[in-house]
């Protein structure tokens, strides 16, 4: 006799009070999940990474900053910046001055960059996990293309909630630009990278559409295959046809040699995040950024799984990002000894490659985005002894 797992229908079909319990039959054909590596590379690591921990709250140790508390009050955190002016406003100039000082005093084989790590907004697969729990998603739903009206894959777009989340993150950027002199300080991203998935690109579009993407000389967004989410088994993690994706997002530049169709994903095997190959493919992305880009401020829009790997690769504490959230991380890269005399780091690029002009944003006229509150403890230019990196 088979057992069945009760599953509530989507919220739009019924309220919690009147939800009719539905069942996913056990005899529904589901492929057995196997774990294994994808995109295996024999490329060697080039840098030793570490994190500058005394500039952002999220980079402090867990005993000082709880990620759940941080996420609960995310919209009042100014992206976690710990430096404040005397009138208790986030001090982006002091931040940029500190980063420039670190680079000015770095050894020839060292360089510092600021990575703005953004997770995409809610997709239908995220909604399914919220509605039915992660256990039911893994056991019954994730390997389907559609369930109860949710189009799960391949390459799903954002839900309406996800689109609003991305707009809200854009409003935080606008608040920092309009009220806290982030542009004048020089902290806008100089370069943009993204996953090839629609949900990541839609998030980037909605976040930046009326900040930089609408400029006559708007920056191009570089797509890297290795910035994709954990590969295999789940249909939400099969990417779309890049010809169609590029038609939707004409401001992207595809990585050289990228196949139009997804030749990597399979329905049989799930990438083993803890097996090491996923960390390796994300390390290659970060290595390339430090090897090829002279820019200091880099935006990366991707997925929870690959951003976990990025944080692990650069030596950051694990820090769970809710959908659409972004955290800056200041990373120091030092060439490994065997590359010290073989690799020349790129010249530092200052200024923006696009012509941004400060403006008053219409979307900030709503009350919740009038400005960002100062820190509740009145901290000004926080300095934490013994936490230089």
| Tens digit of each residue's pLDDT (9 = 90 or more) over 322-364 | 999 999 999 999 999 999 999 999 999 999 999 999 988 988 8
Catalytic residue among 120, 125, 180, 316: 120
Mean pLDDT of 359-378: 56
Distance from C-alpha of 144 to C-alpha of 31, rounded to nearest angstrom: 10
pTM of the model: 0.87
- Does residue 279 form part of some domain? yes
Which pLDDT score, from 0 to 100, does residue 215 have?
96
229 is catalytic: yes
Strands 252-253 and 5-7 turn out to be unpaired
Q: Which residues contact 93 (CB under 8 A, 6 or more apart)?
A: 181, 184, 185, 186
pLDDT band at 365 (very low <50, low <70, confident <90, very high): low
What is the rounded distance in angstroms from the CA atom of residue 114 to the CA atom of residue 100? 11
- For tokens 């196949």, what's the residue? 259
Q: Which domain holds residue 208?
A: 48-123+155-369
| DSSP structural state of residue 366 | S
Q: What is the pLDDT of residue 36?
A: 82
pLDDT for 362: 82
105 found inside a domain: yes
Catalytic residue among 229, 271, 284, 295: 229
Total number of domains in the chain: 1
Cα–Cα distance measured from residue 142 to residue 135, given in angstroms and rounded to the nearest whole number: 10
Within a domain: residue 90? yes
- Confirm whether 101 is a catalytic residue: no
pLDDT band at 29 (very low <50, low <70, confident <90, very high): low
Domain-embedded: residue 162: yes
Alpha-carbon distances, residue 55 vs 42, 75, 289, 308, 352 (angstroms): 35, 18, 22, 20, 22
Rg value, the chain, Cα: 22
Backbone phi, then psi, for 214, in 5-degree steps? -95, 5
CA distance 305 to 142: 15
pLDDT at 58 over 80: yes
The CATH number of residue 222's host domain is: 3.40.50.1240
Task: Give the three-state DSSP class for 111.
Answer: strand
How would you class 20 by CB atoms within 10 Å of its CB: exposed for 0-12, middle for 13-18, buried for 19 or more?
Answer: exposed
Quickly state the pLDDT bin for 6 (edges 50, 70, 90). Answer: very low
**Cα atoms found within 13 Å of the Cα of residue 108, Cβ hemisphere only:** 7
Identify whether 150 is part of a domain. Answer: no
The answer to whether position 136 is within a domain reads: no
The answer to whether 80 touches 51, Cβ cutoff 8 Å, is: no
| Residue 133 DSSP SS3 | coil
Mean pLDDT of 59-76: 95
Distance CA 197, CA 301 (A): 10
Give the per-residue pLDDT at 242: 98
With respect to residue 19, please indicate whether it lies within any of the assigned structural domains. Answer: no
Asked whether residue 258 is domain-assigned, the answer is yes
Report whether 233 contacts 32 (CB < 8 A).
Answer: no
């Amino acid at each position: 006799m088979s057992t069945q797992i009760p599953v509530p229908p989507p919220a739009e079909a019924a309220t919690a009070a009147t939800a009719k319990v539905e069942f996913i039959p056990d005899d529904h054909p589901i492929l057995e999940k196997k774990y294994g590596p994808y995109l295996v590379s024999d490329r060697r690591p080039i840098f030793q990474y570490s994190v500058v921990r005394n500039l952002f709250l999220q980079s402090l140790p867990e005993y000082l900053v709880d990620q759940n508390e941080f996420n609960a009050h995310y919209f009042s955190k100014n992206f976690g910046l710990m430096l404040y002016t005397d009138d208790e406003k986030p001090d982006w100039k002091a931040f940029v001055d500190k980063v420039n000082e670190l680079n000015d005093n770095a050894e020839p084989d060292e360089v510092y960059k600021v990575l703005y790590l953004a997770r995409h907004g809610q997709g239908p697969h995220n909604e399914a996990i919220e509605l039915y729990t992660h256990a039911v998603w893994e056991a019954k739903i994730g390997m389907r293309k559609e369930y109860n009206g949710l189009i799960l894959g391949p390459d799903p777009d954002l839900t309406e909630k996800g689109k609003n989340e991305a707009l809200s993150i854009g409003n935080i950027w606008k608040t920092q630009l309009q009220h806290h002199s982030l542009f004048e300080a020089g902290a806008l991203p100089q370069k943009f990278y993204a996953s090839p998935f629609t949900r990541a690109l839609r998030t980037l579009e909605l976040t930046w559409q009326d900040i930089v993407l609408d400029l006559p000389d708007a920056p191009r967004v570089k797509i890297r295959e290795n910035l994709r989410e954990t590969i295999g088994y789940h249909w939400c993690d099969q990417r779309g046809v890049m010809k169609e994706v590029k038609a939707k997002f004409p401001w992207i530049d595809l990585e050289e040699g990228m196949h139009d169709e997804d030749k990597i994903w399979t329905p049989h095997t799930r990438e083993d995040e803890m097996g090491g190959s996923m960390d390796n493919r994300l390390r290659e992305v970060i290595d390339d950024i430090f090897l090829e880009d002279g820019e200091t401020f880099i935006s990366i829009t991707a997925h929870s799984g690959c951003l976990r790997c990025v944080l692990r690769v650069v030596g950051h504490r694990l820090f769970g990002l809710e959908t659409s959230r972004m955290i800056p991380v200041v990373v120091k890269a030092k060439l490994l000894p065997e590359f010290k005399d073989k690799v020349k780091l790129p010249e530092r690029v200052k200024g923006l490659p696009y012509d941004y002009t400060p403006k008053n944003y219409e979307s900030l006229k709503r009350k919740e985005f009038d400005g960002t509150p100062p820190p509740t403890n009145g901290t000004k230019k926080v300095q934490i002894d013994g936490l230089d990196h």
